[in-house]
Amino acid sequence: MVTVEVGGEYLLNIEKIVHGGEGLARPEDGPVVFMKNVLPGETVRARITERKDSMARAELLEVVAEADCRIEPDCPVFYECGGCQLQHGDYQAQLEFKKSIIEESFERIGKLEEWPDFEVLGMDFPWYYRNKGQFPVGEKDEELITGFYRAGSHEIIEFPECKIQHQPINRLLDKVLEFFKEHNLMAYDEKTDKGILRHFLIRSGFCTGQLQLTVVVRNSLSGEVLDDLKKFLDEEQALVSIYQNINTEKTNRILGEVSELIAGEKYILDYIGRNKYSIYPESFFQVNTVQTEKLYDIVADYARKINPGKIYDAFCGSGAIAIYLADKFEKITGIDISLESIQSARVNAELNGISSSVDFQLGSVEDLLPEELADDELIIFDPPRKGLPDETIELIKENRVENILYISCNPTTLARDLKNLAGDYRIEDMTAVDMFPQTYHVETVVLLERKE
Ligand SMILES: C[S@@+](CC[C@H](N)C(=O)[O-])C[C@H]1O[C@@H](n2cnc3c(N)ncnc32)[C@H](O)[C@@H]1O
């Protein structure tokens, strides 16, 4: 075995990009080595920074032989900021990496032997797409700053503009920072528990242009600042909703328990296709409005193939899928554990005039999915990153549910769940959608059919 030691420098050939966006190299007879900012096919000189039994981690020193897809990242802070991982590869290559990340998870974690060939649907313009940004606030040389955390740290990296945020969010962020500088407010310091400003959360209606600002604070802003924020809303045409959220905890969680409306509307609006959606500070809404329409069209196509008597939209968030499907299918029940999301799902049903055909229930999928499911019922699962609960997988198997539509934002937990279902279900069809260009994340839609 090659001695791969911390501090040692090696020439390595990069085999592929893996989940997390790092490149993987397999030195002959050595442990696998992971490192950032490299691309498949490249030869690089790297220094080992971490060594465990079967793996090591390295930092890139020099690209000795470049991949054809290597490009100059558009963002000046790409190599410092933790937000994007793939800007150094051209967009077509990024889509190929995502396909191989999914396939690698299916093989290695899912132990699956076969699945249909599938496409990763990309964006025509894979920039400025995020409709939600959460920006930590800090201080540098006694001046207020904002930006994103450096990967794995709480150091704030400032940027002139974030290349994946919707531009109106970038523009508003500059003005919000100016506003609080002028009011001489201090950033919250988690070490001393002093200061007030913690995060700026900005959400945008991609199709409507409406903006919502939530100022996350350690203690309530003063009456004077709150009054000035009302004036700020009047001055900024696109800004239609301002909240403050008080988070008193020493925690990594961004939002505290309660968001208080300070000025303007309770929610902003966005559209997916012809459907209208309300967005509150804490309600779930997919961050890439443009790609979400493609995702939901695939869901609708797969559901049409099955033509179910009833649909469960399990983990429904603000009910976006249920509402998207409501003009095509009759009985739809949405289930979500978050009160804010279910409240906004009900508002969304009203906004679209379909309250009588969809039903939204507050609670866990584990508790609310019926013990007995009929043959013609379709369950759409869109769980959080951790995937499906064990009892839900058991329930599906026991009920011999005919079809399942599984939407996943995490190929590793998707592969784990497919492994657990593989004895009873086969993958009938699948498509991936690039909801998160420039990052390693990818959304996968899988249609499962029960084996005879
Ligand atoms: C990926 S999001 C759903 C997105 C939604 N389908 C959409 O397209 O907008 C996952 C949702 O699962 C909810 N959730 C997490 N654990 C849950 C559970 N055990 N039961 C029900 N809902 C849960 C979260 O509140 C969140 O809204």
CA 335/CA 285 separation, integer angstroms: 15
* Domain 132-272 = CATH 2.40.50.1070: yes
Q: Cα dihedral sign for 434, 440, 442, 448?
A: positive
Task: Give the number of the atom of ligand 1 that is nearest the alpha carbon of residue 338.
Answer: 25
Question: How many other C-beta atoms lie within 10 A of the C-beta of residue 269?
Answer: 17
Tell me if residue 409 is catalytic.
yes
321 Cα to the center of ligand 1, angstroms: 11
Atom of ligand 1 nearest to the CA of 389: 19
188, 360, 217: which is closest to 284 by C-alpha?
Answer: 360
What's the 222 CA to ligand 1 centre distance in angstroms?
A: 35
What is the rounded distance in angstroms from the CA atom of residue 177 to the CA atom of residue 183? 10
**Cα(176)–Cα(330) distance, rounded to whole angstroms?**
45
- Cβ neighbors of 226 (< 8 A, separation 6 or more) are 244, 262
Which of 272, 292, 315, 385 for a ligand 1 pocket mutation test, highest count of atoms within 8 Å of Cβ?
315
Q: pLDDT value at position 68?
A: 98
Cα angle at 144 between 140 and 145, to 5 degrees?
75
Indicate the fold that domain 95-125+284-450 takes in CATH: Rossmann fold (3.40.50)
Same fold, 95-125+284-450 and 132-272: no
38 near 63, Cβ under 8 Å? Answer: yes
- Say whether 306 sits in a helix, a strand or coil: helix
Beta bridge partners of 331: 310
CA of 317 to the centre of ligand 1 (A): 5
- pLDDT given for residue 131 in this prediction: 98
Atom of ligand 1 nearest to the CA of 317: 27
Per-residue pLDDT of the chain (452 residues; tens, 9 = 90+): 456 889 999 999 999 999 999 999 999 878 999 999 999 999 999 999 999 988 999 999 999 999 999 999 999 999 999 899 999 999 999 999 999 999 999 999 999 999 999 999 999 999 999 999 999 999 999 999 999 999 888 899 999 999 999 999 999 999 999 999 999 999 999 889 999 999 999 999 999 999 999 999 999 999 999 999 999 999 999 999 999 999 999 888 999 998 999 999 999 999 999 999 999 999 999 999 999 999 999 999 999 999 999 999 999 999 999 999 999 998 999 999 999 899 999 999 999 999 888 999 999 999 999 888 888 899 999 999 999 999 999 999 998 889 999 999 999 999 999 999 999 999 999 999 999 999 999 999 999 999 97
Provide the pLDDT for residue 373: 86
Q: How far is the CA of 335 from the centre of ligand 1 (A)?
A: 8
- What is the spatial distance between Cα 253 and Cα 81, in angstroms, rounded to a whole number? 19
Residue 50 contacts residue 56 (beta carbons within 8 Å): yes
Token pair 């909240």 is found at 243
Structure tokens at 336: 């979500």
Q: Which residues line ligand 1 (CB under 6 A)?
A: 284-286, 315-318, 320-321, 335-338, 341, 364-366, 382-384
- Domain parsing of the chain, residue ranges: 9-70, 95-125+284-450, 132-272
DSSP 23-42: EEE--TTS-EEEESS--TT-
- Token pair for residue 58? 């390295």
Q: What is the CATH number of domain 9-70?
A: 2.40.50.140
CA 270 to the chain's CA centroid: 18
Q: Which spans in 307-352 are helix H? A: 320-325, 339-351
